[in-house]
Structure 1
């Protein structure tokens, strides 16, 4: 151990003539500790929510959607699927129809705008987990027989859409397709009756409030698409490869086809979540900054208290650089202690929440029953480095002041 570090640790542990200096030292360590722990906990919670939202969005849809430019409809579905099925990382594909319409609950005379999604139930499970999100009834989009013996196609509604329509299981609903609406009003919009067979709930309000599922064939008939579809949903073995696979698909299919990833479709949401994380990081870093001001105050007072000792050290041959190191080490030791304890406490609290679920959430509001936690090593490293950097900066001014003391004047100092 160098004598600079030895003296720094002695100064940190030794009793002060003024107990106030020791108190400020402990407060500065505590401030760094609280700031680091708070940052770790808050960022881990935000990571948990982001992961939960990401999983639910991907579970509702898929990793990539293949479609045509201007959404003109994809005609040769089998040909397109055969062209891309052997691309690396693709493990599932399913055609879909995605169109806007008006839904009417005939019993309650309620109506609402709706996005009707037509799906192929034989391949849907390969790209989506929506069937697992059914909370009441079943995911039945096939033919349903009513009490009077008539058969109608089934429809599965989002939970909040069903609440708006006041539609119960077994109730009839009608979908009014915009097909036929245009400058020439010789054709009436297509109207088709369905029977409610189930409700789904993804936990994402924007999905549960506006989406309804029917069979692919019914959607093609409802919107006059014949054999065309809106696009093809693609699932990968690694969602992080979505951008890479998207480029391969675009290059392989060429015009008029294009592809969009799950991130492209939800860019605004995830960009906002990233902004929130950075905002939280900056705001909570202010706690550490306040603690570093305490380190500055402590070191300045120590310099004043140890002025005579500094003069003696200089007269014995200690260089200004060595004096500067002593006080920088002292501040950094306080920062390291606070940062280490903050990391330990932050990790312990996050781990406890993961294991014991101390903090619960109302599942009817958040869908998840407990506060989500996702700890990332990169967060721990960046927080620790930021805290130590701030502590280092805080030591520079008082350390330079100590190094600039004149040894003769310092020895005479009372």
Structure 2
């Protein structure tokens, strides 16, 4: 829709009402601010929701892989053969043996429930990227050293170099009954994955040490699998499921964390719908301000019609006047949203400092920091939605102005 110089001049005049039209200008300003806040809210919330899902998926998958192959009964005896079959499956990037067992740990009289993980040296080296203290390379078979989560270290008061006691209730049988197995391990490193539940429970050691601690011999608990596409993990591992039917179960990240990710998906849709109402309210403000502007300019419209202005010209003038308000609000909303996301962590800390309320509790939110991941397609969708709604809101007032009969308006002038 290209405007002539005449149409653009009149449209600019109506975008900046005079002194006698201050109320109309106020309503138009409120409309612009409302569109800005609505677009900003949508950008912020959708980016945070996307970031939460992506960060949670990255951290969970980074530690547990895309899927787990676990034998019935918890012990995979012929795991070397199964491991080779899994690695040969098309679409599988890597597969490694894993031992995971809930036990207890004590230090200086403090006892905490832990999750012992026996990993290969390659997996331990990967975990080194999350290390916050110590040296992960010291974790070698037979060295008697472990790495523990940063939150677990805080809970029991342990530091690098301290010796913690890992307690295995399923100990050795004696004439006096079963004696829990207690083994001391030196803390060689502290790591922080970023998922609170993991950081407060995991104790990582070489897989051979875990087998010795748990008295499992050469068997392992499960096989960790990473595929080339996390969303297609079920399809990729279908041949493995069929081959291991009755011997082991294959659980992918979608199944293991189904309730969490389904809740996130439902909340994401609900938030989008609710926050879209803000934009809709802003659009009604644009409609109201344009209706008042048309009523205030009825005499001007009639004069322009008698001077040769077409209905099409009047339609374009008022559509432009209202649409520019929506467009400016959309651009301002994008700027506000991206600014908020860039400084999001500082803003959260500032609000916590002022209110004294902890807004982001890692024990509840799973992640240590407020995440954000902006999807360009969603940004475009939100912007187009705001612009289209703003355009539709201008049609009725513009049509009303274009249908003004100059004879009826000027009859008594």
TM-score w.r.t. length of structure 2:
0.77
Picking from 31, 52, 59, the partner of 1:56 is 59
Determine the structure 2 residue equivalent to 1:92: 94
Distance 1:109 1:346, change over 3 A: closer
Determine the structure 2 residue equivalent to 1:293: 284
What is the CA RMSD across the aligned residues, in angstroms?
Answer: 4.1
Pairing of 1:46-85 with structure 2 (within 5 A): 46-68=49-71, 70-85=72-87
Say if 2:171 and 2:181, in contact at 8 Å, map to a contact too. Answer: no
Determine the structure 1 residue equivalent to 2:357: none
Say if 2:99 and 2:222, in contact at 8 Å, map to a contact too. Answer: yes
Say if 2:149 and 2:192, in contact at 8 Å, map to a contact too. Answer: yes
Pairing of 1:253-292 with structure 2 (within 5 A): 253-278=244-269, 280-282=271-273, 284-292=275-283
Cα deviation for residue 231 of structure 1 reads 0.9
Say if 1:308 and 1:413, in contact at 8 Å, map to a contact too. Answer: no
Cα deviation for residue 141 of structure 1 reads 5.2
Determine the structure 2 residue equivalent to 1:387: 386
Say if 1:141 and 1:156, in contact at 8 Å, map to a contact too. Answer: no
Matched, 1:165 2:164: no
Determine the structure 1 residue equivalent to 2:355: none
Determine the structure 2 residue equivalent to 1:109: 109
CA–CA distance in 1 between the matches of 2:310 and 2:292? Answer: 21
Please give the secondary structure, in 2, of the residue aligned with 1:213. strand
Which deviates more from structure 2 when the two are superposed, residues 364-373 or residues 160-169? 364-373
Distance 1:251 1:223, change over 3 A: same
The superposition leaves residues 79-116 of structure 1 with CA deviations (integer Å, 9 ceiling, x where unpaired) of: 111112122332322111112223333xx222222222
Distance 1:120 1:190, change over 3 A: farther
CA–CA distance in 2 between the matches of 1:88 and 1:302? Answer: 66
Task: Structure 1: state its 5+ residue gaps.
Answer: 145-152
Pairing of 1:290-369 with structure 2 (within 5 A): 290-308=281-299, 327-344=318-335, 346-347=337-338, 349=339
CA–CA distance in 2 between the matches of 1:254 and 1:178? Answer: 29
Matched, 1:19 2:22: yes
Pairing of 1:146-161 with structure 2 (within 5 A): 153-161=144-152
Say if 1:311 and 1:410, in contact at 8 Å, map to a contact too. Answer: yes
CA–CA distance in 2 between the matches of 1:413 and 1:247? Answer: 83
CA–CA distance in 2 between the matches of 1:188 and 1:74? Answer: 25
Say if 2:92 and 2:225, in contact at 8 Å, map to a contact too. Answer: yes
Cα deviation for residue 212 of structure 1 reads 1.4
Determine the structure 1 residue equivalent to 2:219: 228
Matched, 1:119 2:116: no
The superposition leaves residues 28-56 of structure 1 with CA deviations (integer Å, 9 ceiling, x where unpaired) of: 22432343234334443454454443333
Distance 1:358 1:114, change over 3 A: closer
Say if 1:236 and 1:242, in contact at 8 Å, map to a contact too. Answer: yes
The superposition leaves residues 210-261 of structure 1 with CA deviations (integer Å, 9 ceiling, x where unpaired) of: 2212332343344443333221012234444434323343245444333223
Say if 1:66 and 1:233, in contact at 8 Å, map to a contact too. Answer: yes
Aligned positions, number: 392
Say if 2:7 and 2:313, in contact at 8 Å, map to a contact too. Answer: no
Task: Structure 2: state its 5+ residue gaps.
Answer: 351-359
TM-score w.r.t. length of structure 1:
0.76
CA–CA distance in 1 between the matches of 2:212 and 2:412? Answer: 96
Determine the structure 2 residue equivalent to 1:194: 184
Say if 1:35 and 1:287, in contact at 8 Å, map to a contact too. Answer: yes
Please give the secondary structure, in 2, of the residue aligned with 1:129. helix
Say if 1:102 and 1:114, in contact at 8 Å, map to a contact too. Answer: yes
CA–CA distance in 1 between the matches of 2:3 and 2:93? Answer: 63
